[in-house]
């Protein structure tokens, strides 16, 4: 009887040097029409054995921090969907947006999953299979960048910094400054100051990030 056990490991949980493959880039920006509706990713087999992979695309819904929900979608065409990569070699993956015209930016994940080799699946074994998901943002033209940063009190009366994307574009948090008023005093922080606290670098429209602001207020 086959007893192949598969364990999927998230990228954040494992050092890069133990992964069977690398995916680059981890973040891509694309348009909802025209030439810029097509993007490319590169998968490199860093192991010493052939690497069978499957590439899928899912739609990403996220409203608060990084609490995301992934759903099946027909918006993206992926080619090739499956491929065998020789040791030390790379494979280019084409991803094309074929969905409807958008009113605001939305996000997807392009997920590369390692598949078991046929020789391994025929035997009783335990095999570690890896899965990596890159971010893909799809935006229409003429989107508006707009966000609000503020200090609010949580349920325990602890001051929190909340950043909300109120526009129609993706907000790149590392390119912004954060101006708030607290205790009647105006304060401003840059990315280097807030980066250690924030669990993400991008906000899609209507997404909020909220973190404990005490380390910032005591600087």
Buried b (16+ CB within 10 A) or exposed e, 70-84: beeeebbebeeeebe
pLDDT band at 121 (very low <50, low <70, confident <90, very high): low
d(CA 72, CA 60): 9
| Overall average pLDDT of the 61-82 stretch | 96
Model pTM greater than 0.85? yes
| DSSP alpha helix (H) spans, 122-201 | 191-194
pLDDT band at 174 (very low <50, low <70, confident <90, very high): very high
d(CA 46, CA 90): 9
- Which residues on adjacent β-strands are paired with residue 8? 129
Instruction: Give how far Cα 78 sits from Cα of 7, 39, 109, 187, Å.
Output: 24, 10, 12, 46
Instruction: Give how far Cα 142 sits from Cα of 44, 53, 167, 168, 209, Å.
Output: 35, 37, 11, 9, 24
206 by DSSP, 3-state: which?
A: coil
Kindly state the tokens that stand for 86: 């020789």
112 by DSSP, 3-state: which?
A: strand
pLDDT band at 40 (very low <50, low <70, confident <90, very high): very high
pLDDT band at 68 (very low <50, low <70, confident <90, very high): very high
Q: Per residue in 181-212, pLDDT tens?
A: 999 999 999 999 999 999 899 999 999 999 99
| Overall average pLDDT of the 106-110 stretch | 98
| Overall average pLDDT of the 9-14 stretch | 40
- Output the pLDDT for position 117: 84
Q: Where are the domains of the chain?
A: 5-139, 147-217
CATH architecture for the domain at 5-139: Sandwich (2.60)
Q: Per residue in 73-84, pLDDT tens?
A: 999 999 999 999
Instruction: Give how far Cα 118 sits from Cα of 4, 84, 95, Å.
Output: 11, 12, 27
Residue 103, pLDDT > 60, answer: yes
- Pick 74 or 126 by higher pLDDT: 74
- Output the pLDDT for position 19: 62
| Overall average pLDDT of the 62-88 stretch | 97
CB neighbours (10 Å) of residue 206?
Answer: 14
pLDDT band at 1 (very low <50, low <70, confident <90, very high): very low
Residue 17, pLDDT > 50, answer: no
| Overall average pLDDT of the 45-50 stretch | 94
d(CA 48, CA 148): 49
d(CA 136, CA 113): 17
- Output the pLDDT for position 184: 92
Kindly state the tokens that stand for 138: 């799809």
User: What would the 3-class secondary structure string for 30-64 be?
Assistant: EECCCHHHEEEEEEEECCCCCEEEEEEEEEEEECE
Q: What percent of the chain has pLDDT over 90?
A: 83
- Output the pLDDT for position 179: 97
């Amino acid at each position: 009887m086959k007893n192949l056990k598969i364990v999927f490991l998230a990228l954040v949980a494992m050092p890069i040097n133990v992964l069977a493959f690398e995916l680059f880039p981890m973040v891509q920006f694309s348009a909802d029409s025209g030439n810029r509706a097509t993007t490319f990713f590169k998968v490199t087999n860093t192991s010493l054995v052939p690497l069978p992979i499957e590439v899928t695309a899912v739609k990403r819904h996220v409203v608060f921090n990084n609490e995301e929900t992934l759903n099946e979608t027909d918006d993206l065409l992926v080619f090739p969907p499956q491929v065998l990569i020789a040791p030390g070699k790379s494979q280019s993956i084409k991803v094309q947006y074929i969905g409807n015209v958008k009113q605001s930016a939305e996000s997807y994940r392009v997920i590369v999953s390692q598949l078991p080799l046929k020789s391994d699946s025929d035997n009783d074994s335990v095999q570690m299979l890896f899965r990596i998901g890159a971010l893909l943002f799809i935006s229409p033209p003429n989107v508006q960048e707009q966000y609000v940063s503020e200090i609010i009190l949580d349920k325990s009366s602890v001051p929190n910094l909340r950043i909300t994307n109120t526009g129609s574009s993706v907000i790149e948090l590392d390119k912004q400054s954060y101006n708030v008023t607290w205790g009647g005093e105006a304060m401003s922080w840059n990315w280097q100051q807030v980066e250690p606290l924030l669990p993400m670098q991008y906000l899609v429209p209507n997404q909020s990030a909220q973190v404990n602001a005490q380390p910032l207020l005591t600087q």
